[in-house]
A and B are shown apart, each in its own frame.
Chain A
Amino acid sequence: MGRLPFVLPLLGLAALLVALGLGMTRDPKRLPSPLVGRPVPEFALAPLLDGGAPLVASALAGDGEPKLLNLFASWCTSCRLEHPMLMRIAAEGVALYGLDWKDAPEDGRAYLAARGNPFRAVGSDPDGRAGLALGVTGTPETFVIDGRGIIRHRHVGPITAEAWEGTLRPMLARLGAGAAG
């Protein structure tokens, strides 16, 4: 047996460290979206909840009030952790809309039934088409939409207390003030 097999582990470690090191230079929470600065792409989704409002892109635009559009799924673990935060955000009176992404509608309904529904309207997107239009790569993901229906920001991953207080809430306040003035 030559020496090579004994050197391989060292090369493997080097590869792992390079990947981890490069991975660290990327902020997992901040992803540029080509949609930032553009209107919400067109979609119309059936309501997830019986008797609920459907989720139509045009309804998210143009009434002057900034909104949050949150993508979630019942199979997504991070969404479960994020949910209490969404309940808190909704309790503050923020216009929060939900999109149940790549999820069986009955699972999505059970998910909201067990945790409470923070959304003004929830659309069901079982085959992920609306998510595709939004350029979504995973859940949870949240878009900040201004009063004219323009996407202003994309937040990837669960909304933590820091993200809410440090970024999203100030941004919504700024957008709301801009619309009023």
Chain B
Amino acid sequence: MAAEIGQFALILALVMAVVQAGLAGAGARWRDPALVAAGRAAAMVQGALVLLAFLVLLLLFVRLDLSVELVARHGHSAQPAVYRLAAAWGNHEGSMLLWILMLSGFGAMVAIGGRELRPAFHARVVAVLGLLSAAFLAFLLFTSGPFARRWPPAPEGAELNPLLQDPGLALHPPLLYVGYVGLSVAFAFAAAALLEGRVDSAWARAVRPWILAAWSALTAGIALGSFWAYYELGWGGWWFWDPVENAALLPWLVATALLHSALVLETRGTLVSWTLLLAISAFAMSMVGTFLVRSGILTSVHAFATDPTRGSIILLIIGGFTGAALALFAWRAPALERGSAFAPVSKESGLVANNLFLMAAGVAVLLGTFWPLVIDLATGDRISVGPPYYALTFVPLVVPLLALVSLGPVTRWKTDRLRDVMARLRPAAGAALLAAAATFALFWSAGWTAALAALGFALAAWLVGGAVLALLRRFRVPGGGFALRLVRTTPASAWGMALAHAGLGMLTAGITAASLFTVSEVAAMAPGQAVDLAGRRLTLESVGRVTGPNWEALEARFRLGDGPGGRTVVAQRRRYPASGQQTTEAGIAFGLLGNVYVSVGDATGGRLAVHAWWHPLVGWIWAGALAMALGGAVAMADRRFRLPAAVRAAPAAVPVPAE
């Protein structure tokens, strides 16, 4: 019965989405507030119905209703309840329903709020979101109904891929989906603006919280996925340049560009068509990401569920929405561009350069991802594009971008002098030089590695220093000294920006150290034996067998360091009897300066195969990414995003006093 309720709720939600698009669209066209109100109400009802369907799906998994096809294929009685919940969205149908839940939820939020928007524009946004919901609901219902029954019920379910039975991965898809779907809201704003033929700074101010939310969630989601790969795949890699990782990185790069260009549009009213184009592209890229995971056209670590029919329908949805928006763009955008001039040295110029580098890096990733497909289509050959390609293309594009990041916040709008900008950043430049000198002093013998490391650490110091200086400038009173009063009145967006830029610095330091100074040892060890890892002693204490709820494992216990300060590190090789699969549970001793990472193999003749690593500063990669995500969330709290259009004071447009 429950499954039928879920199915019925989805069908009603589809009807509601069509009603929402039709009524809100008609209301905007004929300026009829009653029609618009009805459309907004439909959006709220649609959100509630999809939520009901999702809760029903969770209930079916918790109760392990094996008469439902999806549960029989992905739920197993030996699985802990929390992973049975995660299994609800660890498959195609469930993850699409989760996606739609986010889309409908955001749609309902836009319909409920939106007091800061002009009514006709608000109605158009609601209409576009209704169309998107309708397309995805139809896709779910007609190609992959999550509530399909099977007869007779299965005696026992199949198990979720054990690699996915992990808290990190239970959270990773929902976070990414918040990101992707947040970009759909930005898309709806852009499409509505193009339909109206009107874009102004109020538009940018209204859309920026959505971009920030999407960007923060994407950042956190990508970081979580990378962390999962690090501890679950058993060899300590944190980024693979895998097509599906790239599929998350691409919308992230475009969303980062969009975040910054929308700031220019909000404050200075320029870069109108560029910002609209970025909003459409960010959405297109997030859709292509979904498409890549679903269609199986690129073989990948993530291709857990693939199906070409679903792929072609998603392709149709991408083509329809993006194509329509870009056609509108080609028609309307030329008339929208209003320039307000700016000098070559100005915040606008800096942000334009930021956008160009981000987009160039995005194109490099896009080419790397699709080049194997192009070659295959052209010549029938199969090639793979690996890390060396990205080291040669992506990295050289990102280094100048990182150098630019610290300049932006301390440069004035409209016009500035390069010499003044550099003077404001003198302490950051000093910190960068110090970092480079210290790196050379410590790793002189490492040759080119030392030079690369010096560059990486100098950029990291420059980023953190630049973020701190950008904040300090806000606290300074004209004439000298600092005022506590100014700390209190500094807007949340400034704090968020500083946190995000400093996080980027941490990320840079982590990537530099982990890429250049990782040490690894392979040994066949008997209990009592030890290996040396960059000066750290790792002793094998014991090897035994343990059993968990749905697995059994070979467990090795290690001692890291000697004496009372020593730590225990436990590594396992797990076998999941239900599916016959094995996973490596690495033993990790986390530390501020780096992690000791141990992965164990088979025990033969009383000796255990051990692969141990020292990963310096690797934790800074995820800590930095989380700081960036947090920065985005803090910036969302800025009060100017909550002011209605009529009372806005535009505090950000007030230039920071000169020294």
Contact = CB atoms under 8 A, between A and B. Distances in A.
A87 interface: yes
- Of B280, B288, B579, B602, most A-chain CB atoms within 10 Å: B602
A144 B322 CA distance: 44
Given A13-B284, A78-B301, A23 B580 contact: no
A27 to B, nearest CB: 8
Given A13-B322, A21-B315, A114 B234 contact: yes
A114 B383 CA distance: 28
A6 B240 contact: no
A12 to B, nearest CB: 9
A13 B524 contact: no
Given A110-B611, A156-B299, 10 more contacts: A10-B323, A13-B323, A20-B295, A22-B377, A24-B297, A80-B235, A84-B581, A113-B611, A114-B584, A114-B601
Given A10-B327, A24-B295, A138-B384, A109 B522 contact: yes
Interface in B559-608: 573, 579-584, 599-602
B298 A28 contact: yes
A115 interface: yes
Contacts of A80: 233-235, 301
- Of A13, A17, A28, most B-chain CB atoms within 10 Å: A28
B281 A9 contact: yes
B600 A6 contact: no
B242 A6 contact: no
Nearest to A136: B382
B323 to A, nearest CB: 6
A31 B299 CA distance: 13
A74 to B, nearest CB: 8
A34 B522 CA distance: 39
A93 to B, nearest CB: 14
B330 A31 contact: no
Interface string B387-422: 000000000000000000000000000000000000
Given A75-B386, A113-B609, A23 B376 contact: yes
Contacts of B280: 9
Interface in A111-125: 112-117
B231 to A, nearest CB: 14
B297 A77 contact: no
B633 to A, nearest CB: 31
Nearest to B571: A114
B299 A157 contact: yes
A20 B288 CA distance: 9
Contacts of A85: 581
Nearest to A110: B522
Instruction: Specify the main secondary structure of chain A where it touches its partner.
Output: helix
B333 A6 contact: yes
B327 A19 contact: no
B370 interface: yes
B323 A24 contact: no
Interface string A25-36: 010110100000
B382 A116 contact: no
Contact of B602 (A23, A81, A88, A117): A117
Interface in A87-143: 87-88, 106, 109-110, 112-117, 137-138
Interface of A: 1, 3, 6-7, 9-10, 13-14, 16-17, 19-24, 26, 28-29, 31, 75, 77-78, 80-81, 83-85, 87-88, 106, 109-110, 112-117, 137-138, 156-158, 161
B382 A138 contact: yes
Contacts of A156: 299, 382
Contacts of A14: 323
Given A9-B281, A20-B297, A138-B384, A116 B327 contact: no
Nearest to B162: A84
Contacts of B579: 161
Contacts of B522: 106, 109-110, 113
B600 A114 contact: yes
Contacts of A16: 288, 370
Contacts of A10: 323, 326-327, 329-330
A88 B297 contact: no
Contacts of A78: 299-301
Nearest to B586: A114
B302 to A, nearest CB: 10
A91 to B, nearest CB: 8
Interface in B233-261: 233-235, 237, 240, 242
B601 A116 contact: yes
Which 10 pairs between the two chains have the least Cβ-Cβ distance? A113-B609, A137-B382, A110-B522, A84-B582, A10-B326, A23-B297, A114-B601, A114-B611, A157-B299, A7-B330
Given A17-B318, A24-B308, A77-B240, A6 B329 contact: yes
B301 A9 contact: no
Contacts of B381: 137
Nearest to A106: B522
B312 interface: yes
Given A77-B242, A114-B235, A138 B383 contact: yes
A108 to B, nearest CB: 11
B374 interface: yes
Contact of A13 (B326, B373, B374, B384): B326
Interface string B323-359: 1001101100110010000000000000000000000
A29 B307 CA distance: 12
A138 B381 CA distance: 10
Contact of A9 (B277, B524, B573): B277
A168 B291 CA distance: 28
B338 to A, nearest CB: 12
A123 to B, nearest CB: 20
B168 interface: no
B296 interface: yes
Contacts of A116: 573, 582, 601-602
